[in-house]
Amino acid sequence: MKEFTGRVVAGGCVTAPALVSHGGLNTLASFQKALQFGDKKATCGDQNNPDLYGKPMAGTALCLPRTIGSTTGGLVLYCACAMKRQPACMLFSEPIDSLAAAGAILQDVWLSDSSMPVIDSLGEEFLRYVRDGMTVTVKENGVVTVG
């Protein structure tokens, strides 16, 4: 078991299985099926992300370096949360970009019945260590335990 400490963007505590991407997450391409066609598992639709494509993202500890893509990114994350199709948490090895941060903060502030903790700046070692299926626990103070 290993602990990593990052910056809390949206608070909360959760334990979930890891789903790891070593490339950027295109939020629109990844969540489009979940938002438009009712895919409750939020199966990743981004064919350009071989780590995630075809895998269910809902309920996972989504571990990634960064998000990529259009200016819709924040709204897509917020909508995924509003529709209960979000990851259990999002864990960034790098500092979060402003669009993903906007979605994380909006869901945290506007949705009282939804929670998606978001931690950033966990470091490169975090992404080298974590593997799909490992148990990830997020604490309120930004400590992430992977085991």
Question: Where does the chain show beta strands of DSSP type E?
Answer: 2-5, 7-10, 14-20, 25-26, 61-64, 67-68, 89-92, 118-120, 135-138, 143-146
Note the CATH number of domain 2-146.
Answer: 3.50.30.10
Q: How many CB atoms lie within 10 A of CB 137?
A: 17
pTM of the model: 0.97
pLDDT of residue 145: 98
Total length of the chain: 147
- The mean pLDDT of the chain is 96
H-helix or E-strand spanning residue 73: helix 73-82
Residues 11-67 have pLDDT tens digits of 999 999 999 999 999 999 999 999 999 999 999 999 999 999 999 999 999 999 999
Chain center to CA of 7: 14
